[in-house]
Amino acid sequence: MNQTPPTREDFWIHRWTLALGRQPSKGIRHSIGHDCAVLSPFSSQLDLVLKTDAVVEGVHFSPSTPAPLAGRKALARALSDLAAAGATPRAALLTAGCPNARSAPRLREAYRGLARLAKRFNLPVVGGETVRTRQLLLSVSLLGTVPKNTSPNRSGAKPGHLLFVTGKLGGSWPRRHLTFHPRLAEGQWLVRNKFPSAMLDLSDGLGADLPRLARSSRIGFRIDPGQIPLSPRATPKLAFTRGEDYELLFSVPPPLTPALLRRWPFSTPLTIIGSCLPIRQGCHTGGLPLRGYDHLR
C-alpha cells in the first residue's frame, strides 16, 4: 500500500529537525515526532527548573544576522537564565516561526546554530511547534535540574552583602550578543559551593537588573563606577545601561568572600562592584542612570 505523502509542514519539520542530529536518549521515552515529549522522572533529590525565552527578527537580531547565530542566541539566552539558577539543562523545546516556504532554508540554518550549542551541553531538543509568523521567531523552553533547596533567587541579598559580577560589561554589540557563552559552569559551581545569597543574569543591563534584585530583596545598594569591569571601548555608562551582557550578578555574605576569591577556578573575571545597603539608605550609582533595555519602552 502506498504511503500518504507528508504535508508541506511535515516535510519542512523533517528537514529542519535533521539539523538537530541524533539526540541523547537517556531518560527520554518519546521525543520529536510525537504529540508530547515524555521523559522519565529525575531524582527526588533534585528540583526542576523551567525557563522559556524568545528571539524575534528585528528585535533581538537583524534581518542581516547569519541565521545560525540567531538560532544560537535563542538557546544561549535561555541557558543564561539556567546559569543564574545554578541548574543543569536536561531538555529543550523549540517553537519556530517563519513567513513562508521561501524563508524555510533560513530557519533550517537557525536550527543548525541552535543544535551546535545544544550539542556542546549534551542537551536534547525533544519537541516543539512550528507556526507562520511575519518575522523569523525562535522560542526556546528549557527543563533543568538543580540539587534540592540549593538554587538562589533574587530575594536573598541582605545589607552588608557584597555585589559581584562575572566577566566584562558593555561589549555586547555589534557581535558578542550573538556569540556569548552562557556561564553555566560558573553558576553551577557557585550554587554547589553555596556562595550566592541572590543571583540573576544580566540580560537588560546592570542599570535595570540590579534594581530588580534590590526590589526582590528589599535592599538598597552602592555601586562604585570605577570598579565595573569594562569591555574594550566601553564606558561605565555604556556598561551600566546597554544590556545583553549575559553575565552573572550575585550577592555574597562578607565572611564567604575570601574563600570565593581564593577558590574561584575559572578564567572568567570575577569583580566586586559594590555592596548592599539597608533599603532606607537608597540606591547609589555614582551618577550612572538606573536604566537598561526595556521591551515596552
Whether 293 is covered by a domain: the verdict is: no
- Quick: pLDDT tens for 20-37: 555 556 677 655 666 677
In whole angstroms, how far apart are CA 121 and each of 68, 100, 166, 220? 17, 31, 20, 37
Do residues 170 and 273 share a domain? yes
pLDDT at 128: 87
CA–centroid distance for 291 within its chain: 20
CATH number at residue 26: 3.30.1330.10
Among 119-133, 139-153, 263-277, the minimum mean pLDDT is found in 119-133
Q: Span 283-288, mean pLDDT?
A: 95
Domain limit, last residue, from 147, 177, 210: 147
Are 131 and 181 in the same domain? no
- % of the chain at pLDDT higher than 90: 74
pLDDT band at 114 (very low <50, low <70, confident <90, very high): very high
Strands 283-284 and 219-223: parallel
- Please state, for a pLDDT cut of 70, what percent of the chain lies above it: 86
| Cell numbers linked to 157 | 541579598
Q: Show which of 118, 147, 176 is a domain's final residue.
A: 147
Domain-located, residue 143:
yes
Same domain for 138 and 229?
no
- pLDDT tens figures, 182-209: 999 999 999 999 999 999 999 999 999 9
Strand order in the sheet with 46-56: 46-56, 137-147, 88-98, 125-132
Q: Which residues contact 108 (CB under 8 A, 6 or more apart)?
A: 12, 15, 16, 19, 67
Cell reading at 147: 540539587
Q: Are residues 64 and 88 in the same domain?
A: yes
Answer yes or no: do 166 and 141 share one domain: no
The boundaries of the domain holding residue 107 are 8-147
Domain termination residue (choose one: 93, 113, 147): 147
Taking only the tens place, the pLDDT of each residue in 26-74 is 677 655 666 677 878 788 899 999 999 999 999 899 999 999 999 999 9
Q: How many domains does the chain have?
A: 2
Distance of alpha carbon 57 from alpha carbon 65, whole angstroms: 9
pLDDT the model gives residue 73: 97
pTM of the full structure: 0.88
Q: In this predicted structure, which of 30-34, 105-109, 208-212 has the lowest mean pLDDT? A: 30-34
- Answer yes or no: do 142 and 22 share one domain: yes
Closest CA to 52 of 97, 83, 23, 82: 82
Pair 23, 126: CB distance under 8 Å = yes
Q: Does residue 224 register a pLDDT over 70?
A: yes
Please report whether residue 273 resides in a domain.
yes
